[in-house]
Chains A and B, each alone.
Chain A
Amino acid sequence: MGRVGDIGLSVLAHAVLFGLFAVSFQMTGLTDQAAPGTEQAVQAVAIDEAEVQQAIEALEAEENAEQRRREQELAELEAERQREAERLAAEREARAEAERQREAAEQARREAEREAEAEARRQAEAEAQAEREREAAEQARREAEAEAQRQREAAEQAEREAEAQRQAEREAEARRQAEAEAEARREREAEAQRQADAEALRDARGTYDAAIRQRVEGVWTRPAGIPDGLSAVVAVRLGPGGIVLSVEVARSSGNAAFDRSALTAVRRADPLPMPDDPDLAQPYREGIEMIFAPDA
């Protein structure tokens, strides 16, 4: 008997425990769980019923006990099964939990990995960016350098060209100068020649001018008693041999008698002295202006 009682007690205890466990489990939910199969010592209270009855009751008790035991066993079985199921469920749950946790961990890991990857990517990107910028800077530097170089070269080229131009201009100027001097020399010579010619012409002309003047003055008589300070210009055209082709008043003195005396003087002097040389005679034939001014 002890043993049966123990068993009963044990079952009871189990039940209670179980119930408690269930409740506790219920209540605790997903908490840290003990490893399956482990039992914990439970404090039980021993009930002491009358010993006399104990014998009948013992039999009945036996029977009951047997019954109970079977039931107990059944219950235990059931409980066992239940527990097994629960354990299984718990295991499943745990596994699921674990799975979940694993998955979560996995997730987290993946997350972390993604994060890391992203970070790495960002890093890489930043590095790439930095690299690109470095490259760009480098490129720019190179380009600037190249540009500077080009400009230096262009400047040098321009300077060379300018120098060449200056040189060309200096040469051209020198040439011009030389030409101008030559030209000036030619001009001076030509001018000297012209002056010599003109002088010769003037000399010749002067001779004839003087002869004409003398001739006309010698025959010019004008009325006395007309106002002083008169002067008239008379235009004379001469033909071959100095004959007077025409004579007319080009600018009147304002005094008809004075004008007439000038015209008469020219006609009296007809023919006028005239060069034989046709070239020399030409200006005389083109027209003579005589300014009659007695007081000049």
Chain B
Amino acid sequence: MKSLIAALLLAMLALPAAAQVRIEISGGEAAALPIAIVPFPMQDTAAGDAPDTDIAGIIRDNLFRSGLFAPLDPETHLSQPSRLEQVRFQNWRALGADTLLIGRITPLDGDAYRVRYELLDAYAGERITGQRFRVTPAGLRNLAHTISDQVFEALIGRPGGFNSRIAYVEETGAGDERSYRLVVAEADGHRPQTILTSSEPILSPDWSPDGERIAYVSFESGRRSRIYVQNVATGEREAVASFAGLNSAPAWSPDGERLAVTLSRDGNPDVFIIDPDGDADPRPVTRHFGIDTEPAWSPDGETIYFTSNRGGGPQIYRRPVSGGDAERVTFDGNYNASPSVSPNGRFLAFAHQRGEGFRIAILDLEDDIMRVLTDGPLDESPSFSASSSMIAYTRDTGDATELATVSVFGRIQGELTPFENTVREPDWGPLPSAD
């Protein structure tokens, strides 16, 4: 009898759980999110001309290049809704869009526009986010990046960094006409601005973490290398390292308080830490008879990755800033150089020689798996984007080198903009500050 009661109780207890169907969904696919980005129509054409800036197009390119989105070809759109009530979600679902970005531009008095966008979940039939802006025509590109950032953050869960900037060195002319320019551009390569021109080489630009300054190497003074720190907005600059021998490869610490540099003042290039004001004595990070150069900080500021030929060919090593043994990090291939650590700390990007060519590869620092992202033949100078999802690098087109990006996921390669000239050593700047 007792056992019967127990069995009944058990059955009663088990009943709801048994009735609840539990299904485990595993696998699935990490994939670029299909999104439809509908062109933002001008609402009142009588009030003024539509702006030249294709906001939807910029957003589409941005999201595509990140590798995390698969924007629908606008040619396939069946309609161009600009308001929530105009959206027929099943149509967008039928096209395969999970999400839908719509917006509209309204001209305002005083040469300004009101831009409004809505990010919609095509399956839930819900609004995910949206905002309204007032911008000048000159601000439309930045606004497109801002909306890209907001979409990215809403759907991926972290900042997209589309409003960040890229610094690089552009080389023009030949012979005596050769000139070097330090250029700052939008993250998609648009609107380049030259902040320094020199007849002597400029190398290794590196953004300060606050995005206000750039450290770089210039040979402008008598063919000797010097490290400068220049304020991007004001153009003011200061030489922070001009020791005997080589002064090169500056890299800001994540807190912006220090610079890791390569100095050969003791005869052999080693990595040192200096004060960004150039006041304090350099503190050595490495002391080795081999060449140690191209320092890069881990995001926590505790480790410095660097290139060294101490093992023969160039390989990437790391060493705690506080001291300790250098540890070799790259083993695959006989040439791995120019390290860049992703801001999320997960990946190390570097130039990797495979066969005849040089390609951009990444090493997953968690599971030590290396992946080659680009096809070569001469890809160099990787620099992680602030979102950690893209890498800017240079590639050889045969005639010149150009700036390109590759996404960590999906290996989506994009050229930022057609360059007529040779570009070198891009450095992807930080996220714009919150204000």
Write the residues of chain A forming the contact surface with B, with a CB cutoff of 8 angstroms: 183-184, 187, 191, 205, 209, 212-213, 216-217, 220-226, 255-258, 260-265, 267-268, 282-284, 286-296
Hey, which chain B residues are within 8 Å of A183, CB to CB? 1, 4
A193 to B51, CA, bound (A): 75
Least Cβ–Cβ distance between A173 and chain B, in angstroms: 14
Hey, which chain B residues are within 8 Å of A265, CB to CB? 25, 28
Hey, which chain B residues are within 8 Å of A295, CB to CB? 26
Chain A residue at minimal CB-CB distance from B7: A187
B52 on the A face (CB < 8 A) = no
Known: A226-B156, A286-B20. 6 other contacts (CB 8 A): A221-B32, A224-B31, A264-B121, A264-B123, A283-B19, A289-B20
A226-B157 in contact (CB<8A): yes
B67-A224 in contact (CB<8A): yes
B27 on the A face (CB < 8 A) = yes
Write the residues of chain B forming the contact surface with A, with a CB cutoff of 8 angstroms: 1, 3-4, 7, 18-34, 67-68, 93, 98, 121, 123-124, 128, 154-157, 388-389, 408-410
A284-B21 in contact (CB<8A): yes
A221-B30 in contact (CB<8A): yes
Hey, which chain B residues are within 8 Å of A184, CB to CB? 3
A264 to B23, CA, bound (A): 16
Q: Name the one of A258, A268, A296 contacting B26, with C-beta atoms under 8 angstroms.
A: A296
A245 to B123, CA, bound (A): 13
Least Cβ–Cβ distance between A207 and chain B, in angstroms: 12
Chain B residue at minimal CB-CB distance from A202: B18
A290 to B34, CA, bound (A): 23
B19-A286 in contact (CB<8A): yes
Hey, which chain A residues are within 8 Å of B18, CB to CB? 283
28 A-B residue pairs with CB within 8 Å? A183-B1, A187-B3, A209-B23, A216-B23, A216-B25, A220-B29, A221-B98, A222-B28, A224-B30, A224-B32, A225-B67, A225-B68, A225-B388, A225-B409, A255-B157, A257-B156, A257-B157, A263-B124, A264-B98, A264-B124, A267-B124, A282-B19, A283-B20, A289-B23, A291-B25, A293-B24, A294-B27, A294-B28
Query: How many A-B contacts if CB must be within 8 Å?
Result: 123
SS class, residues of chain A in contact with chain B: helix
Hey, which chain A residues are within 8 Å of B156, CB to CB? 223, 225-226, 257
Hey, which chain B residues are within 8 Å of A260, CB to CB? 121, 128, 155
Hey, which chain A residues are within 8 Å of B33, CB to CB? 221, 223
Hey, which chain B residues are within 8 Å of A268, CB to CB? 93, 98, 123
A294-B20 in contact (CB<8A): no
A222-B25 in contact (CB<8A): no
B21-A209 in contact (CB<8A): yes
A268 to B31, CA, bound (A): 15
Hey, which chain A residues are within 8 Å of B3, CB to CB? 184, 187
Hey, which chain B residues are within 8 Å of A292, CB to CB? 25, 28
With A217-B25, A289-B21 already in contact, the answer to whether A294 and B123 are too (CB < 8 A) is no
Least Cβ–Cβ distance between A72 and chain B, in angstroms: 147
Chain B residue at minimal CB-CB distance from A213: B23
Least Cβ–Cβ distance between A249 and chain B, in angstroms: 11
A137 to B25, CA, bound (A): 100
B123-A267 in contact (CB<8A): yes
Q: Which 8 A-B pairs have the closest CB atoms?
A: A220-B28, A224-B409, A267-B123, A221-B31, A257-B157, A296-B26, A224-B30, A288-B21
